[in-house]
Amino acid sequence: MKNSKPMQQERISTPIHFGNLLRLASRPLGWAVATAIGSAALSIAPFWFIYRIAVELFSAQPDMAVVWQLAWWALGLLALRWALMAVSHVLAHTGAFAIQHRLRLAMARRLGEVPLSFFAGRGSGSMRRTLTDDVNGLEGFYAHLLPDMVAAAVVPLAALALLFAADWRLALAALVPLPLALLAQWWWMRGIGGRMREWNDLQKRIANQVGEYVRGVHVVKSFGLDARSFGELATAVRGAVAWVEGYAKDSSGGWVLFTGLLTANLITVAPLGAWLHAQGTLDLPTYVLFLLVAPTALAPLLRLTFALDEQFQRAEAMGRINEVLQAQPSADPVGSRIPDGALDVDFIDLRHRYGERLALDGVSFRAKAGRLTALVGPSGSGKSTLVRLVARLYEFESGSLQVGGMDVREWPLDALLGRLGIVFQDVFLFHGTVRENLAMARPGASDAQIETAARAARAHDFIMALPQGYDTSLGDRGAGLSGGERQRLAIARALLKNAPILLLDEATASVDAENEALIQQALDELCRGRTVLMIGHRLHSVMHADHIVVMNGGVIAGQGTHVELLNSCLIYQCLWRDHEQSRDWSLGESRHATPTRESRP
């Protein structure tokens, strides 16, 4: 298994099922099955030698040399059986992990290609569960069930062949409980498919709710609540408990009957064998052979049944994995001529819906190359949607969105994203050092380039104050950094990427005055010479923009410069008035309060 295999090779023909996945690790799994067959067959062989020993010992003149020879054979074959079993175990696990590895890479690749709308309506918990638990669950099939199935087929066949060769009457008697056991199993397992689906839905709900609970644990705590009182989670857990109780109650009768019958063929074999022996038609060694082998003949079926129970859950998991692998990626045309040089961004009669909700309704404007275009408007007016559509996070419904004169749907996605620098409010930082987090914007960037970008983003000083400077590990999502510091890292990344178009969600609202000033300096540095589309939450930071687009309810309410809009656009006048009032209010407040780090200008 080579972990370094490039991602583009991780194409897997879909839909996947347990059979075609075998091809991903055919060699180790093929050998695992072969050695499992050998091991299963050898589990019966020692009984043959014990039988031969019994024949020898019950003869008129037992030859102890022959007895010892047979005993050594029995022991040798037993040792070989265990060795083959160990080899099979290792190979089956190797194959199973190779399949999981390939599947995860293929899924990760596909998730990177699908539009964000794929994730809408799917909780992050359930997506995580598919990538981790569902894929983990497949291991059980290849590493355990496959060898178990082999044993379940080979052991009874080998045992029955031996028994029929020894005495067909007793062999038939050993089979009597089998049809009854199968009948009990059918009774016990009826409707199991529906039940397992119910169980999986419950698990999915619990996973989603646990995810939500963990994300919102600080809020839950602030209300003095705990997991038991976290509504949906508590309901889902209670549902799971009720499911387990119901399942145990309904299935226990059939289960006991099935397991009892499968291991109970001595009930028929022992008395019949004793009677045949008394009649003089069955010798003692053969009787001993039946007493030893008959109980083991059907036992592997029991293990298989346990495993099949889990298989229902795996089949459900396979469905969810297929859903990811078969998700429709954003269309990526080939052979288009990619525009270069200065890139205008044109929105032409653009409409977009989230499900039923119309978010943009015929929006047209141009964000000119090398200029700063600001988007303002009340909350929910469609500003973020416009920016997300440029990055093709969603597919729009109609109209056109052009970058450099070419519709974004004509752009190869990689090429388009390569020309976009993105600084959103929710800065994504991963586990890793500061340096690694910055270098993701330009893989292979030198230390000097990283430091230059960090200096320009006014991030160098706080980075150097961290315990290991650029080599300090950032915790989950950059835990330990303030909102303003995370913002400046995002700006440093964008500087390092040096993309001609910048999508910016102004996010200074939640930071203190000192951070705000630093972020503003960093942004000025970043915006220079680029096509900037910026969502402005506070008007004083966008009033000097080259062009301002005022959004309201998914349509444009006005566009122009600050002065033009003040004279012509009612919504802008209202926004400006509110903004001025809130500034007066906050200045008034600050006159009465001692300034703190968190005080706003």
Ligand X SMILES: Nc1ncnc2c1ncn2[C@@H]1O[C@H](COP(=O)(O)OP(=O)(O)OP(=O)(O)O)[C@@H](O)[C@H]1O
**What is the separation of C-alpha 557 from the centre of its chain, rounded to a whole number of angstroms?**
42
Position among 81, 204, 320, 383 found at the interface with ligand X (CB under 6 A) = 383
Least separation, in Å, of the C-beta of 120 and ligand X?
6
Q: Identity (one letter) of the amino acid at 223?
A: F
Restricting to residues 330-369, which ones interact with ligand X according to CB under 6 A? 354, 357, 359
548 near ligand X, rule: CB under 6 A: no
Contact stretch for ligand X (CB under 6 A) within 96-104, 318-326, 380-388, 588-596:
380-388
Least separation, in Å, of the C-beta of 546 and ligand X?
21
Say if CB 220 and CB 230 are below 8 A apart: yes
Give 128's DSSP letter: H
Least separation, in Å, of the C-beta of 537 and ligand X?
7
Least separation, in Å, of the C-beta of 422 and ligand X?
15
- Residue 554 zone, left/alpha/beta (φ > 0; ψ -120 to 50; rest): left
Nearer to ligand X, 115 or 339 (CB): 115
Nearer to ligand X, 81 or 383 (CB): 383
Nearer to ligand X, 41 or 550 (CB): 550
Nearer to ligand X, 250 or 361 (CB): 361
Least separation, in Å, of the C-beta of 219 and ligand X?
20
Nearer to ligand X, 1 or 120 (CB): 120
Burial class (CB in 10 A: 0-12, 13-18, 19+), 242: exposed
Burial class (CB in 10 A: 0-12, 13-18, 19+), 17: exposed
Distance in angstroms (rounded) separating the CA atoms of residues 349 and 326: 32
Position among 88, 185, 381, 402 found at the interface with ligand X (CB under 6 A) = 381
CA separation (Å) from 246 to 216, 241, 306, 314? 32, 9, 19, 21
Nearer to ligand X, 383 or 600 (CB): 383
Nearer to ligand X, 325 or 376 (CB): 376
What is the DSSP secondary-structure string of 291-358?
HHHHHHHSHHHHHHHHHHHHHHHHHHHHHHHHHHHTPPPPP--SSPPPP-SS--EEEEEEEEEETTEE
Nearer to ligand X, 204 or 538 (CB): 538
Tell me the per-residue interface mask from 119 to 148 with ligand X, x by CB under 6 A, - otherwise: -x----------------------------
Distance in angstroms (rounded) separating the CA atoms of residues 378 and 550: 9
Position among 4, 61, 379, 596 found at the interface with ligand X (CB under 6 A) = 379
Nearer to ligand X, 308 or 393 (CB): 393
Burial class (CB in 10 A: 0-12, 13-18, 19+), 19: exposed
Token pair listed for 258: 């099935």
Nearer to ligand X, 383 or 547 (CB): 383
Nearer to ligand X, 86 or 116 (CB): 116
380 near ligand X, rule: CB under 6 A: yes
**What is the separation of C-alpha 248 from the centre of its chain, rounded to a whole number of angstroms?**
30
Nearer to ligand X, 457 or 502 (CB): 502
**What is the separation of C-alpha 429 from the centre of its chain, rounded to a whole number of angstroms?**
19
Position among 305, 311, 313, 384 found at the interface with ligand X (CB under 6 A) = 384
Distance in angstroms (rounded) separating the CA atoms of residues 147 and 149: 5
Token pair listed for 73: 């054979």
The residue length of the chain stands at 601
Least separation, in Å, of the C-beta of 566 and ligand X?
21
- 3-class secondary-structure state, position 147: helix
Least separation, in Å, of the C-beta of 587 and ligand X?
24
Tell me the per-residue interface mask from 265 to 294 with ligand X, x by CB under 6 A, - otherwise: ------------------------------
How many amino acids of this chain bind ligand X (CB under 6 A)?
12
Half-sphere exposure of 486 (CA within 13 A, CB side): 21
536 near ligand X, rule: CB under 6 A: no
Position among 185, 373, 385, 531 found at the interface with ligand X (CB under 6 A) = 385
Nearer to ligand X, 429 or 549 (CB): 549
Least separation, in Å, of the C-beta of 213 and ligand X?
22
Token pair listed for 409: 């749907």
SS3 for 287-306 is HHHHHHHHHHHCHHHHHHHH
Least separation, in Å, of the C-beta of 353 and ligand X?
9
Least separation, in Å, of the C-beta of 385 and ligand X?
3
- 3-class secondary-structure state, position 103: helix
Nearer to ligand X, 426 or 476 (CB): 426
Tell me the per-residue interface mask from 102 to 121 with ligand X, x by CB under 6 A, - otherwise: ------------------x-
Least separation, in Å, of the C-beta of 253 and ligand X?
49
Least separation, in Å, of the C-beta of 303 and ligand X?
48
Least separation, in Å, of the C-beta of 379 and ligand X?
3
H or E element: which one contains 587? Answer: helix 570-592
Is the peptide bond between 46 and the residue preceding it cis, with omega within 30 degrees of 0? Answer: no
382 near ligand X, rule: CB under 6 A: yes
508 near ligand X, rule: CB under 6 A: no
Least separation, in Å, of the C-beta of 377 and ligand X?
6
Contact stretch for ligand X (CB under 6 A) within 199-207, 376-384, 410-418, 577-585:
376-384
Distance in angstroms (rounded) separating the CA atoms of residues 383 and 537: 10
CA separation (Å) from 134 to 10, 11, 20, 92, 299? 18, 19, 17, 18, 29
Token pair listed for 299: 């036992």
Token pair listed for 530: 């680029």
From the list 464, 482, 461, the residue with the least C-alpha distance to 472 is: 464
Distance in angstroms (rounded) separating the CA atoms of residues 222 and 475: 23
Contact stretch for ligand X (CB under 6 A) within 98-106, 122-130, 178-186, 377-385:
377-385
Q: Which residues of the chain form contacts with ligand X (CB under 6 A)?
A: 120, 354, 357, 359, 377, 379-385
